[in-house]
Amino acid sequence: MSASPKLSLTAAPLLTRILVANRGEIACRIMRTAKALGLTTVAVHSATDREARHVREADIGVDLGGSKAADSYLLIDKLIAAAKASGAQAIHPGYGFLSENAGFARAIENAGLIFLGPPASAIDAMGSKSAAKALMEDAGVPLVPGYHGAAQDVDTFRLAAERIGYPVLLKATAGGGGKGMKVVEQVSELAEALASAQREAQSSFGDSRMLVEKYLLKPRHVEIQVFADQHGNCLYLNERDCSIQRRHQKVVEEAPAPGLTPELRRAMGEAAVRAAQTIGYVGAGTVEFLLDSRGEFFFMEMNTRLQVEHPVTEAITGLDLVAWQIRVAQGEPLPITQAQVPLIGHAIEVRLYAEDPANDFLPATGTLAIYRESAAGPGRRVDSGVAEGDSVSPFYDPMLGKLIAWGENREQARLRLLAMLNEFAIGGLKTNVAFLRRIIAHPAFAAAELDTDFIPRYQAQLLPPAGELTAEFWQAAGEAFSQSQANAVRQNDLHSPWSSNRGLRAGLPAEIDLHLSCNSQKQVIQLRNTNASSARLQGEQLVIEHDGVRHQHLAIRRGDTLYLNWQGELRTIKRLDPIAEVEASHTQQGGLTAPMNGSIVRVMVEVGQSVDIGAQLVVLEAMKMEHSIRAPHAGVVKAIYCVEGEMVSEGTGLVELEDPSVL
């Protein structure tokens, strides 16, 4: 499913080469349209991203050095220098990083280059959530009760929270994407949450300023896509529902918003257009609202950039928003009027993350040993920034890509997306594929019962505890292991007796004992070297026939690891050596380890210090989010094995805590 540009392609473009100041799937997506328009594409990359997919797909690559975003993708001078060195005439910021940084937009313009985004003045006006809310208040747009002032001390926020009433939501004024955002349930949590949110905001956006507002219960998150040109024209391209979120970050987006009346769509759309025109906006932008059950909407913020979820708008309109950005930046007027904006069918998008949903959605790092996208087809689209064999580092956001399905109606789009998720297979690190599948398959989602509490409300069903693996599963895993081993030693001659999967196989004993593990469960499988098995490995498919019914399961072996798709989930099965296997244990009793790769931001305790249960011991930063390591019980700090600024790997010992009750 690819959107087709609706702008004239006959006029000779002023641009011939653009630089994308971003990485991952959005860089790949922007370059895809740029190439379709005949433009040369320039990628920038950190030292870590030297071989990343967006670099491989670009015509030209420029090394920024560094690993962290602060040492690469956030360095304005390096990006300007990269554009000049590569001969790029324009820079597209993508989303995140510097996309909503007015200083970046000005630096580009001052360098004589074109910024493929809004004017710096518009970013200034809306880039600060506090300033934006003040503008909307003056314009009479309803606001959620909150504090958006300049004072940033904890006492000011404490007084504001008391006036607003708990629970409250702390938000970074300079950014979005869940970074620098904390829900505070009571006053005792405020100081710690504010300090952590300020550090996250500084790390992600270079700006630690915060605002606080009332945390509404069970609202819907509905946003309006706006687009403006340099001639005073501004349109709203329908709306998107982005209510299903985890950790205040969108996971599922769809368009149009289910149940939204034409009258409400028009009211929200016209309000969004007024907001854009008030600040002289140009280009693609999104005005976000909270929508309550009574149909009242409240302004949240305006994102002065292309959104992650723009593909669902493209799917229901047939427009290419990146092509519009490029054309509008060259002075072309919008090619259609508001009355001509299409609304065709329904589209749903899910965000694919490298993370562990069962462990509080902690980011995951590692190598993509297996990466198989769903098959192409009508109404199907995958925007990805990775490929099989790529590495996922701890330095950046853990999003791998997006799956988008379009249908003539919502149910067709939902079923199409569910089929895509069933086909998708990723091995080598933890992802949210199975979690997304459970959301899309959930009866409440099918019934469009959407609000921002969807995931917490149905958490028990969306994140079920791991059950005992069945005998059928273990037998299938054993057969796949055994037959893949036989396949590995077979000769290339298809007419040779060694090329058969059936009967007694040369080089293998009559019986095989396989020691396997999966999901912390272990099993010994005994296989007989005969043709009696109902399972046959055919290429990468394990075909199992029972009572005349055949089922196919993706089965790919990499050394002593097997990836087997079983009941909709790609299982990772390890072959164990029963002699060499030694149970892993902590080197120190009471040791606390890093739950993921990351950087130590703060060490909160000292050796000899007494701590209560739940006390903050160490703050770890991974993928621009902070994670607190807390005391599992009251005790005394016996040893500290990390220092601030140190990079640590998953499983590294951080703190040793003695429990006085067992001394």
Residue 167, preceding bond cis, omega within 30 degrees?
yes
Contacts of 487 (CB under 8 A, 6+ apart): 501, 537
Return the sign of the alpha-carbon dihedral for residues 499, 502, 508, 514: positive
Neighbours of 18 (CB within 10 A): 26
Q: Which are the contacts of 582, defined by CB distance < 8 A and separation ≥ 6?
A: none
Q: Exposed e or buried b for every residue in 52-89, given b needs 16+ CB within 10 A?
A: bbbbebbebbbebebbbbebbbbbbebbbebbeebebb
CB–CB of 552/535 below 8 Å?
no
| Cα-to-chain-centroid distance, residue 443 | 24
Nearest Cα to 603, choosing from 612, 595, 615?
615
Going from the C-alpha of 572 to that of each of 371, 438, 475, 481, 647, the distances in angstroms are: 13, 19, 14, 12, 28
Contact present, 595 and 617 (Cβ < 8 Å): no
How far, in Å, CA of 429 to CA of 364, rounded?
A: 6
User: Across the strands, what pairs with 452?
Assistant: none
Beta carbons within 10 angstroms of residue 500's beta carbon:
14
Q: Name the E strands within 137-231.
A: 146-147, 168-172, 182-184, 210-214, 220-228
Q: Would you give the distance in Å from CA 172 to the centre of its chain? A: 19
Point out the catalytic residue in the list 29, 53, 209, 305. 305
Quick count: other Cβ atoms within 10 Å of Cβ 551? 13
Contact 387, 369 (CB under 8 A): no
110 class by beta-carbon count within 10 Å (0-12 exposed, 13-18 middle, 19+ buried): exposed
Compute φ and ψ for 645, nearest 5 degrees. 90, -10
Angstrom CA distances, 175 to 97, 198, 304, 474, stand at: 9, 12, 10, 47
**Residue 302: what residue type?**
M
Q: Two tokens at 197?
A: 């949110």
Active site residue 305: yes
Cβ-count burial of 468 within 10 angstroms (0-12 exposed, 13-18 middle, 19+ buried)? exposed
CB atoms near residue 379 (< 10 Å): 18
Give Rg (Cα) of the chain: 27
Burial string for 514-526 (b: 16+ CB within 10 Å, else e) reads: bebebeeeebebe
Cβ burial of 313 (10 Å; 0-12, 13-18, 19+) is buried
CA gap 169, 336 in Å, rounded: 39
Are the C-beta atoms of 516 and 575 separated by less than 8 Å? yes
Long-range contacts of 379-382 (CB under 8 A, 24+ apart): 379/1, 379/405, 379/406, 379/407, 379/412, 379/413, 379/416, 380/1, 380/404, 380/405, 380/416, 380/420, 381/1, 381/2, 381/311, 381/315, 381/405, 381/406, 382/420
Indicate the helix (H) or strand (E) that contains 350.
strand 346-353
Query: Would you please indicate which residues are annotated as catalytic (active-site) residues?
Result: 305
